[in-house]
Amino acid sequence: MQPQAWQLEWSDKLSVGIDDIDAQHRHFIELINDLNRAILDRMDLTEIRHRMQVILDDAAQHFAHEEALFAASHYPDADEHTKRHRQATTAFMRIMTRLSDNHTESEWIEAGLKVKQLLVEHLITEDKKYRDYFKAHKQAAAS
């Protein structure tokens, strides 16, 4: 089936070369697609809010996982990256609290797009930055 224009697709270009992180990123993309599907299908707001909360909880776990990995591997930009995680979480929570039951459909769609943009941008720009470090680190450990 042809993916819808709003759907995100996993591709190897998104890979950071660490299997469990890639699996978590893939899962993220699925959850974001689920949220946007709920918005476009006009599911009730309780369901949409629930899907947002699932993403937020998943993001918190995922960010903690990455941060533990940075600490274990002495990643030099850990502090900066951790700061980006805090910023993304705050921005996400702001999007959620701004929405209430009487918002219009277009505002919900906008919120869904913002969530998508926020997390995907983090993945593409910030998470990509540690890929090369871990690639070199892994090779160094293997040699």
The residues of the shown chain that bind Fe ion, judged by CB under 5 A, are 66, 127
What is the Cα–Cα distance from 48 to 99, expressed in whole angstroms? 11
Is 123 in contact with 14 (CB distance < 8 Å)? yes
CB of 44 to Fe ion, least distance (A): 30
Distance of CA 109 to the CA centre of its chain: 17
CB of 65 to Fe ion, least distance (A): 8
Comparing CB distances to Fe ion, the nearer of 105 and 121 is: 121
The two tokens of residue 93 are 């929570």
CB of 24 to Fe ion, least distance (A): 7
* Amino acid identity, position 73: S
The two tokens of residue 60 are 């918190």
Comparing CB distances to Fe ion, the nearer of 66 and 112 is: 66
Comparing CB distances to Fe ion, the nearer of 92 and 127 is: 127
Comparing CB distances to Fe ion, the nearer of 77 and 110 is: 77
What is the Cα–Cα distance from 48 to 133, expressed in whole angstroms? 37
CB of 25 to Fe ion, least distance (A): 6
